[in-house]
A = this chain, B = another copy of it.
């Protein structure tokens, strides 16, 4: 794990990567672009040029409504790949902005295709990360559609902590949370005022500690119960042995051809 970049760290959750794989993934992240906090990386209507890997910092995907309301649908943390699917489209249908100073590596569409064609193991791992993205979107829909405000807040806090744990950025259920209550509200379909009241309640009940952009989950079990869910949807278990051996076979074939 030592010296390994966040992308390799994240993908190795799914399937063990060879040294060669890790080097390749780390190499993809060398050419980083730096963005200030509160800056758009991608804007609705842009023509897709490439996929992105977030290596440091934090960002979010959002859309603005005609009346100015904002909905946030994803938070990106180090190791997250995004825009992978959009390469084929005419125009991006949403915006992405940073929350803090953030570094982003770009991967050209050609490189993406090359990875899928020539590096089955990495391709599979990227595919898996897309699964995870889709599962998170589904979970958000469930939260917004059928969970109470308390349940929504509990769910989002758990998700953010679990994801950061998966890339080694959390220690003992504590993470840096550079979000305002307004941003939490825009992610959860609530108003900032109401998010505030709920966070107050959680603090009073000793469920969380949250101050100075630092969040600690004090009672994960009870939070999960409030949210009515568990972390299965993040599919952090890694590939089954069948899938692994299948992918390794592909990888061997590939090498023999070359």
Contact = CB atoms under 8 A, between A and B. Distances in A.
A35 interface: no
A63 B146 CA distance: 10
A250 interface: yes
Nearest to A233: B93
Given A116-B116, A138-B137, A146-B70, A88 B127 contact: yes
Majority DSSP secondary structure for residues of A touching B: helix
A37 interface: no
Contacts of A255: none
A157 to B, nearest CB: 17
A221 to B, nearest CB: 14
Contacts of A61: 138
A117 interface: yes
A89 B189 CA distance: 30
Contacts of A89: 128, 131, 235
A67 B70 CA distance: 30
A135 interface: yes
Interface in A59-94: 61, 63, 65-67, 69-71, 73, 85-86, 88-91, 93-94
A258 B144 CA distance: 50
Nearest to A228: B66
A113 interface: yes
Interface stretch (A171-179, A196-204, A237-245): A237-245
Interface of A: 14, 61, 63, 65-67, 69-71, 73, 85-86, 88-91, 93-94, 113, 116-117, 124, 127-128, 130-131, 133-135, 137-138, 140-142, 144-147, 186-189, 228, 232-233, 235, 237, 239-240, 243, 250
